[in-house]
Amino acid sequence: MANTIISFKNVIKKYDDEAVLKNVSFDIEEGRFYTLLGPSGCGKTTILRIIAGFTEATEGDIDLEGQRVNDVPANKRQVNTVFQDYALFPHMNVFDNVAFGLKIKKLSKEDIRKKVKEALRMVQLPGYEDREINEMSGGQRQRVAIARAIVNEPKILLLDEPLSALDLKLRTDMQYELRELQKRLGITFIFVTHDQEEALAMSDEIFVMNKGKIVQSGTPVDIYDEPINHFVADFVGESNIVSGEMIEDNLVKFVGKEFECVDSGMRPNEPVEIVLRPEDLTMTKPENGKLVVTVNTQLFRGVHYEIMGVDEDGNEWMVHSTRKAKEGSKIGLYFEPEDIHVMRFNETEEEFDARLESYDD
């Protein structure tokens, strides 16, 4: 079993009287890649700042490697941060930026030179030592910022939206590079993003945040396949979400029809919300469909067509298909019972996990 390297216990952070972190608890295991995912202002940077020691929690405990560190200053923690704006020293060249932390630690000139060289090699900037920061592209600066952090061989690396300034192609390349780097170094990474695709692609574990709380944590597949509520279903991936009611175990009603499903453990006739992912809907003839929609619009997305249709109750449905549909035509939508994901209102993560586990028995 891996070691817990960071632990938050009922952490509250208030600015003035407003709580921006509301009772946040989690454990982070050594050597894994974690992502904090959530909309702007939900508290992601605040969590990183508390881990790094730049901000104090108002209430609660923070442990690093089993020791309470609430009162331990930032420079005594084995944590390095790549900030949202990189925060490089613009008047220094690449070497001096990367070497900064090592000089403070008073390593020998020879050791510093070797370590900087190695760090630049890892971020694929070999030989860039003498380059000035203002002579580098955004993507290169970002990699210098990462080199400056990993050169200190921290146990924990915090990365605050490090890829947000990059174009799509470089961003995807850097996602691979970072993931490789993390595996190679075995450092615990905590990566912040509000980009759900990035979170799904990179992480061992995702914490989905909203309004100062972690609303769901799990592997990318868990979060995508079994979102706990409307917010997560909507924020992570494309979703069709409609309201309905749970008639009984394994039978749910929406859009005026009853459908077999695999969910259970709700009250009879409990109001629920239903998620169907666009890629789980198959286009078929109207008479073979479980639902019938009229096609409104379709967009070509490269890999698939994104087709928008509307059912007889006026609900919109998004379908991903490699086949085209005809605007204005009626199409059937087919799906299997396991494609239906039923969500309860106000279910806690503990209740949700317990209910999901009972399906496996």
251 binds ligand ATP (CB under 6 A): no
Q: Return d(Cα 63, Cα 131) in angstroms, integer.
A: 39
41: partner contacted, choices ligand ATP, Mg ion, none (Cβ within 5-8 A by kind): ligand ATP
In the complex with Mg ion, which residue's Cβ is closer, 45 or 142? 45
In the complex with Mg ion, which residue's Cβ is closer, 54 or 334? 54
46 binds ligand ATP (CB under 6 A): yes
> In the Cβ-directed half-sphere of 227, how many Cα atoms lie within 13 Å?
25
Considering only residues 16 to 35 of the shown chain, the ones binding ligand ATP according to CB under 6 A are: 20
Q: Return d(Cα 351, Cα 125) in angstroms, integer.
A: 48
Q: Return d(Cα 163, Cα 144) in angstroms, integer.
A: 13
Q: What is the 3-state secondary structure (H, E, C) of the chain?
A: CCCEEEEEEEEEEEECCEEEEEEEEEEEECCCEEEEECCCCCCHHHHHHHHHCCCCCCEEEEEECCEECCCCCHHHCCEEEECCCCCCCCCCEHHHHHHHHHHHCCCCHHHHHHHHHHHHHHCCCCCCCCCEHHHCCHHHHHHHHHHHHHCCCCCEEEEECCCCCCCHHHHHHHHHHHHHHHHHHCCEEEEEECCHHHHHHHCCEEEEEECCEEEEEECHHHHHHCCCCHHHHHHCCCCEEEEEEEEECCEEEECCEEEECCCCCCCCCEEEEEEECHHHCEEECHHHCCEEEEEEEEEECCCCEEEEEECCCCCEEEEEECCCCCCCCEEEEECCHHHCEEEECCCCHHHHHHHHHHHCC
Q: Return d(Cα 291, Cα 276) in angstroms, integer.
A: 12
For the CB of residue 326, give the shortest distance to ligand ATP in the complex, in Å: 41
182: partner contacted, choices Mg ion, ligand ATP, none (Cβ within 5-8 A by kind): none
For the CB of residue 31, give the shortest distance to Mg ion in the complex, in Å: 25
For the CB of residue 331, give the shortest distance to Mg ion in the complex, in Å: 42
Which one of 44-52, 97-105, 222-230, 337-345 is the stretch in contact with ligand ATP (CB under 6 A)? 44-52
45 binds Mg ion (CB under 5 A): yes
176 binds ligand ATP (CB under 6 A): no
Which one of 27-35, 37-45, 98-106, 265-273 is the stretch in contact with ligand ATP (CB under 6 A)? 37-45
In the complex with ligand ATP, which residue's Cβ is closer, 215 or 319? 215
82 binds ligand ATP (CB under 6 A): no
41 binds ligand ATP (CB under 6 A): yes
356 binds ligand ATP (CB under 6 A): no
203 binds Mg ion (CB under 5 A): no
CB 115 within 8 A of CB 107: yes
For the CB of residue 162, give the shortest distance to Mg ion in the complex, in Å: 11
Q: Which of 1, 17, 40, 221 binds ligand ATP (CB under 6 A)?
A: 40
12 binds ligand ATP (CB under 6 A): no
194 binds ligand ATP (CB under 6 A): yes
For the CB of residue 41, give the shortest distance to ligand ATP in the complex, in Å: 4
For the CB of residue 330, give the shortest distance to ligand ATP in the complex, in Å: 42
229: partner contacted, choices Mg ion, ligand ATP, none (Cβ within 5-8 A by kind): none
- Count the residues in the chain: 361
For the CB of residue 43, give the shortest distance to ligand ATP in the complex, in Å: 4
Q: Write phi, then psi, for 80 (nearest 5 degrees).
A: -125, 150
Residues in binding contact with Mg ion, number by CB under 5 A: 1
Which one of 43-51, 98-106, 248-256, 294-302 is the stretch in contact with ligand ATP (CB under 6 A)? 43-51
Which parts of this chain interact with Mg ion (CB under 5 A)? 45
Which parts of this chain interact with ligand ATP (CB under 6 A)? 15, 20, 38, 40-46, 194
